[in-house]
Structure 1
Amino acid sequence: MNNSIQNNQLSVKYFGKLFVSLFFISVLSVSCGSGSDGGISSGTSAPTGVSKGVITKTDASSVSVNGVDFNTGNSSVTIDDQPGSQDDLEVGMVVSVNGRIDDNSNTGEAEHIEFEEEIQGPIDSIDAVNNSLVVLGRTVILDGATRIVDENGSPLTFSDLLENDMLEVSGLIFTDDTIQATYIKKKFDLFFDDLSEVELKGTIKMLDVVAKTFFISNQAIDYNGSVQFEDMLESDLTDGLFVEVEGTRNSSGILKARKIEEEDDRLHNNENTKIEIEAIVTAFTSSTSFSLSGQAVTTNANTRFEGGAPDDIALNVRLEVEGRMNPSGVLVATKIKFHGNRIKMEADVENINAANNTVTLFAQAVLINGATKMKDDSSSHKGNFLFSDISPGDRLKIKAYLSNGVIIATHLEREDPSFEVKLQGPVDMVSDPDLKILSVTVVTNGSTAFESRSENNITASDFFSQISTGVSVKVEGSLFSGDIVAEEIKIED
């Protein structure tokens, strides 16, 4: 196909999609009118918006995403670019919901729901220690919240997955293209070289325009021969471009591309559109400038934080962000919620379990997985700091979150020795003058300094009157017989 024909086809496709998008926006405008942000049930129109995140609940006429219950009675559904239905939507899938959102009642009216799997292909290898898989060269991490089913929707466990099983995977993406799986479907079909259809999303690297090959993660891709380029030209291929590739994989492990499509996970919506998105921080400049899966986000003095603070925002942290688009396509956050209870630990390693990839601090096992960012800030300054480099007695500084009772580290730094320990997390129990954080007893006394949420000094009586189970508290002090004797203690949320 010559460039002139290819450009004409691209133009037709582009303007066709533009027409559909404009038509959809006009339908939303007519159906939603120019009403206030009042409740949907009262007859007034809620603002149009989009909510992208994990389905937490679904039934015959609704889905719940990012804490909003959407009525789906009048919505259309697409599954991997094909027409679908409400019956195709399952808990754990990452979806985008376009429609109306009522802030007052956390309800909405869905106009359109879109689901696209992140990857479809055979299991290359299984790591039972780290609860992870490799599928088409991409690492897939599972945790207690990952939903695994067969094609009938029957629940499965990690042990039911075998090498060469065909999977469909949905989830959230870390900076290194690792997938935090939220939903996995094990297909009944067996995988066959050169026959089974596979799909892979990711960032192009090691592009060779002469050999017509590139890599996504560790999967080699060959685009020689008849390849359909969608929403792009072959000449648009470049390192760093995010694409979806469809094709087959041969016995040498090379994916022979049949179709390559440029993907863009940014939310293309009109200025001031209501946005709700759950994703992982994939680019970070500061707590006021970062990106969630390619969508630029900014915060300001009016942004509210739940379950964490601005300095908890970092690469690979999972967030739910609400806000509105500004004229530059940047999401201005009005609220940021941290996924799971935010935990910070600073203490000496008590135990290491290499089989489970955990370290123990404060008698609590902390899971180190493929997404944990590790750094040696001690005087040793060891480059390429690995789990195997950690020894009992090492001083570690850990940022983590609590997921289904498991403490999962997002960041781990080795520090120089110190007698002081630090712990931040949700309160388990309050018994003035003591409390428990993550089952660790914290002892306060006449020498303890107490601080409020606004960092003002308060009395012990005021402090204990303001905390309860689930409230996040930060304590600094010394460790004595497994208890923390508090020197300073502060309410964090």
Structure 2
Amino acid sequence: MIIGFLNLPRPLIPLAVALLLASCGGSGGSQTAGIDGSGAPVASNTSGTIDGFGSVIVNGVKYESNTAEILVNGQRASENDLRVGYQVSVTGNNNNGRSIAQKIEFIPSVVGEITALLTAEKQILVLGKTIQVTNNTVFDASIKPASLAGLSVGQTILVSGAIAPDGSISATRIERSNSTNLQISGQVANLTSSSFSVNGTTVVYTNAQLINLNRERLINGARVAAIGIMQDNQLQASTVIGLNKNLARDFASADIEGFITRFVSATDFDVDGVSATTTNQTRYEKGSPADLRLGVKIEVEGSINASGVLVASEVEFEQTSNNKISGTVTAITLGNNTGIISGALEVDGTRVITTKQTRYEDKQFNLRPFNLSSLTRGDLVEVSGYSTAEGFIATKIERREVEDEEAETRELEGTVSALGADYLVLFGRRIYLTENTRITGDSGETISLSNFLLLALNQQIELEVESRDGEFYALEIELELEDSDEAQTANNNAKQD
């Protein structure tokens, strides 16, 4: 496991934690070698989430990694130490349509003890940082169930994710940790000659090795990762790693995924700490220039100008994965794939479309590489994604072990598209309501069936259903009302009932 690297002697850490990665088409665009189409090798860098292996797939691009240098917290590692959901940086080049990684680096966002679990908010508190769990969060197979319910206060976990402007982490992977070293990342504040704070945690760096950092660059506002042990409620750092992302001007292109962490205008903003700008030629996917603002998660591809600013040729907005379905694979259709395998599958008859950026994890056999072609009919899967005019687009697919209690039950999440007297429709599937169906609001208040039928159309719901003779029957439903007035009305009506 990767945690072992956090215990290695700090003096062995090399001076190599620049943000890197290589891509000429992370959003599914063409991977043409040579900026000018010459076919000559083109150096580039990218940062993003590992979606799969064979070799390493990041931001919808497959990077040949057999000759790449792999680093974890600066320590030499192997590809086997990387996991789906890790936020990584890679340096490489694109040569005749082949993306070849030269270096892949991983630095955990936080390693520490859980101090609070906020189940309703889907949040975890670790070392003063808020960890936001989403439908795209990958929980390690050792966490059972693979959700917040599989965690408890006092456990030590490793989290990888994207850091939002407020310092919170949108988790892309969570796993248990046996490390005695703790780790926290964020912006430096309250800097003195011997200490600073990160999200309220005091870090003493007197005897720390500085990596990708020196005293002149260690300033308030600098982005760092601090590693050490906790004594007297202070992190005694053995290592402090600089995370500021300055794109080298000798790189021809870059592909950066993350939150907009600074925003002045569409021509002056930072994405995951990288300075970026757009032009009249910038292409937009799933959004427009008006959607650019602080805290929005995007992926930016483009070239690097003489000032080291990323000039966006394309901006893609991340879609919120409000859809979730668990069930049995009933059909698989593979597309004409030349690199990353994509296509479609059916889960209990519901069609789901995959893309080059769909994230895959195998919790049943721990198969690696694992992708759409690895699935077979009858497999139990959990799929997260979002809806478009095309249908249900998968952002994450996990093959799961079949537990006895899960054999006939399913968990679903999505927007109600139609209602009848005794049913609702989700993803085109009719789900029947009975007198035993328990319906609540997102604050836990009971909602009657009649009020549910009045309020639920086009609203987000989470539900547990039971499969009987090929039909689905709702056992529990949670209605997530967008309008607080409607929620109060539902609550009052429920009490009157």
**TM-score per shorter chain, which class?**
0.5 to 0.7
Aligned length: 318
8 Å contact kept, 1:38–1:46:
no
Aligned with 1:171 (options 161, 173, 190): 161
1:52 & 1:279 partners in 2: Cα distance? 8
Cα offsets for 1:43-90 (capped at 9, x unmatched): x4442211210011113xx01111111111222211111111121121
In structure 2, the residue matched to 1:417 is: none
In structure 2, the residue matched to 1:65 is: 58
Q: Report matched runs for 1:184-223 at 5 Å.
A: 184-188=174-178, 196-209=180-193, 212-223=194-205
In structure 2, the residue matched to 1:249 is: 230
Q: Secondary structure at the match of 1:207?
A: coil
2:49 maps to 1:54: yes
Q: Report matched runs for 1:331-370 at 5 Å.
A: 331-340=310-319
2:164 & 2:70 partners in 1: Cα distance? 27
Aligned with 1:277 (options 244, 256, 265): 256
Aligned with 1:427 (options 367, 379, 389): 389
8 Å contact kept, 1:287–1:299:
yes
Matched letter for residue 292 of structure 1: V
1:342 CA drift (Å): 10
Cα distance change on mapping 1:208 and 1:46 into 2, 3 Å: closer
Q: Secondary structure at the match of 1:301?
A: coil
1:322 & 1:219 partners in 2: Cα distance? 34
Q: Secondary structure at the match of 2:269?
A: strand
8 Å contact kept, 2:222–2:244:
no
2:214 & 2:390 partners in 1: Cα distance? 57
Q: Report matched runs for 1:299-448 at 5 Å.
A: 299-340=278-319, 404=384, 426-427=388-389
In structure 2, the residue matched to 1:124 is: 115
In structure 1, the residue matched to 2:338 is: none
Q: Report matched runs for 1:76-87 at 5 Å.
A: 76-87=69-80
Q: Secondary structure at the match of 1:311?
A: helix
1:197 CA drift (Å): 1.2
In structure 1, the residue matched to 2:151 is: 161
2:81 maps to 1:91: no
1:37 & 1:232 partners in 2: Cα distance? 32
Cα distance change on mapping 1:90 and 1:154 into 2, 3 Å: farther
1:184 CA drift (Å): 1.5
2:126 maps to 1:135: yes
Cα distance change on mapping 1:337 and 1:256 into 2, 3 Å: same
Q: Secondary structure at the match of 2:117?
A: strand
Cα offsets for 1:120-179 (capped at 9, x unmatched): 1111211111111111111111111111115x7998322111122121111101001111
1:17 CA drift (Å): 5.7
2:171 maps to 1:181: yes
8 Å contact kept, 2:321–2:385:
no
Gaps of 5+ in 2: 1-11, 23-32, 323-382, 392-413, 419-454, 459-497
1:439 CA drift (Å): 5.5
The share of aligned pairs that are identical, in percent, is: 27
1:268 & 1:312 partners in 2: Cα distance? 28
Q: Secondary structure at the match of 1:64?
A: strand
1:76 & 1:172 partners in 2: Cα distance? 23
Q: Secondary structure at the match of 1:87?
A: helix
Matched letter for residue 73 of structure 1: N
1:231 CA drift (Å): 4.7
In structure 2, the residue matched to 1:453 is: none
2:313 & 2:390 partners in 1: Cα distance? 29
Q: Report matched runs for 1:450-489 at 5 Å.
A: none
Q: Tell me the TM-score normalized by structure 1.
A: 0.57
8 Å contact kept, 1:123–1:135:
yes
1:283 CA drift (Å): 0.4
2:384 & 2:40 partners in 1: Cα distance? 38
2:73 & 2:216 partners in 1: Cα distance? 25
In structure 2, the residue matched to 1:489 is: none
Matched letter for residue 256 of structure 2: I
8 Å contact kept, 1:53–1:96:
yes
8 Å contact kept, 1:244–1:262:
yes
1:288 CA drift (Å): 2.0
Q: Secondary structure at the match of 2:188?
A: strand
1:216 & 1:481 partners in 2: Cα distance? 42
In structure 2, the residue matched to 1:418 is: none
In structure 2, the residue matched to 1:144 is: 135
1:247 CA drift (Å): 1.5
1:75 & 1:235 partners in 2: Cα distance? 31
Matched letter for residue 66 of structure 1: N
